[in-house]
Amino acid sequence: MLELVLSSVACAALCYTLGRYNRTLALQRWQFVLNAPEERALESLRRRVELDTALARQALDAAERARDARRPADAITVLRVALSLLEEAGADRLTRLRAMAVYSRMVRAIRPLPAPSPAPFRGTQLKAAAAVGGFFHGFLVGTQERFRLWLVLMGLGVRIVLRGGRQAVDGAIREPARPRPWAAFAAGLSDFEALDASHLAAFEALAASLAAVDRGGRLELWERIAGDSR
Amino acid sequence: MSDLQLLLAHLVKLGLVALLGGMLVRGRVGLCWAFFFYVLAILVGNSLVTLAPQRFFNHSFWVLKQGVYDLLKMAVAIELAWRAFAAFPGAWRTARIVLLAIAATGSLSLAWLTPRSYQTLWEWQPGAVTATVWLLTATALLVVFYQVPIGNWQRAIMLGLAPYLLVFVTALSMLRRHGWAVRDGASLLDALAYLGVVLFWAWAAWRKDAPRLAEGREGSPA
């Protein structure tokens, strides 16, 4: 009877997981690791990251100009655009952080990253999170664990920035002439740029670590999997 | 052997021939060698029992062929895991630990909990089959956890083998609980399930795959 129960549980788990398994999606996720050269992938990501923050900063500048010109309605509208750009970029970063967490389990070792530091951040919550992360970083031994701690911190940082940005926009809507919400939004944007720098460093470390792992073998496997007929 | 059993055995044989043909024509043999030998062993065992039942349709031969099948099924599960994870050292390290733990647990429980006698060897069957199902399940869970892109053929093997093994364990449990009085029913259940899984595998083996990806295709960064 015990065997029957164990087999039923195992069979149900297998059918559920493999039934929902989407091979095309898995292939797409692996595409950049296995097909694109690391430098090109990194350069493409760097351009995207720079574009996101440049657009958000441009929108913030335009909103501040409108505020200074005493056009509060326009200022708030453009500030909302800046927030939506930030939210879109944040969603993109969170998705990539999740993907990096998956890929980081594939490699034997990851190129070490420096310990998290509060120095590059302006927000109090982010500074505190980075300080706590830096403290725990010292207790972790493996580079993979340290790398994943970095990923957790970056995810937390993105969420903190987005929440702060929303609160700042709400504050600016209530009192457009008050400088504090605008300063808070600008500080959040600056923190987002600092997080992006860490994001790129983490991506570069992961790409380099994956590249160091038997690339020929991976490409061969890739062809076998993608072709599925040899 | 009843006429119905014989008919089902012949149908399974035809299905196995179609399956082997599909594997050879579509070039799937090298994707899992253990599975090829497993199908070959099943075909040989089936042919011996159906073509010379007076000599091979007996208890001792059943025990022998089931022992061979069990070994090959475990080899299938291990080869599938190896093929999925061998290129990824981090994932393969975890997979090795999980598979070793399952194999060790299965072996120890079989060694301690079942009688040591050739005559009662068939009592090992449910435990061995359960261990194989868990090996397959562990591989499937790790594949999903690590998002490893496995092929459709490997997926079809796992999706076919695990449910069949569950039916097989159910049939064995019926026999253990109710004795030989339910032998025909258990045998029919097992044969029908196996015919179904062989037809599924044959369909998967003959199915054409999507064209190979072009070499050096551009990849998105993330």
Residues of B in contact with A18 (CB under 8 A): 140, 143-144, 155, 158-159
| Per-residue pLDDT tens over the stretch B132-152 | 888 888 888 888 887 777 888
Secondary structure tally for chain B: helices H, strands E: 8, 0
CA distance A230 to A206: 30
ipTM of model: 0.75
Confidence of residue B42 (pLDDT cuts 50, 70, 90): very high
Interface of B with A in 108-137 (CB under 8 A): 126-127, 129-130, 133-134, 136-137
Interface of B with A in 32-71 (CB under 8 A): none
Residue B105 has pLDDT above 90, yes or no: no
Contact: A106, B146; criterion CB under 8 Å: yes
Burial (Cβ within 10 Å: 0-12, 13-18, ≥19) of residue A15: middle
For residue B132, the chain A residue with the least C-alpha distance is A7
Q: What does the pLDDT read at residue A35?
A: 53
Query: What average pLDDT does the segment A189-194 reach?
Result: 92
User: Is A19 within 8 Å of chain B by CB?
Assistant: yes
Longest dimension (CA), chain B: 65
Confidence of residue B38 (pLDDT cuts 50, 70, 90): very high
Residues of B in contact with A19 (CB under 8 A): 159
Q: What does the pLDDT read at residue A19?
A: 85
* Residue A198: closest CA among A105, A87, A83, A100: A100
Q: What does the pLDDT read at residue A215?
A: 55
Confidence of residue A188 (pLDDT cuts 50, 70, 90): very high
Query: What average pLDDT does the segment A41-67 reach?
Result: 88
Confidence of residue B113 (pLDDT cuts 50, 70, 90): low
Q: What does the pLDDT read at residue B87?
A: 67
Q: State the residue for tokens 């190129």.
A: A111
Query: What average pLDDT does the segment B101-107 reach?
Result: 77
- Window from A197-201, A213-217, B15-19, B167-171 with minimum mean pLDDT: A213-217
Give one DSSP letter per residue of B105-125, joined into a string. HHHHHHHHHS---STTGGGGH
For residue B212, the chain A residue with the least C-alpha distance is A227
Q: pTM here?
A: 0.61
Q: What does the pLDDT read at residue B117?
A: 54
C-alpha torsion sign, points A223, A225, A228, A230: positive
Contact: A227, B141; criterion CB under 8 Å: no
Amino acid code (one letter) for B122: W
CA distance A40 to A32: 10
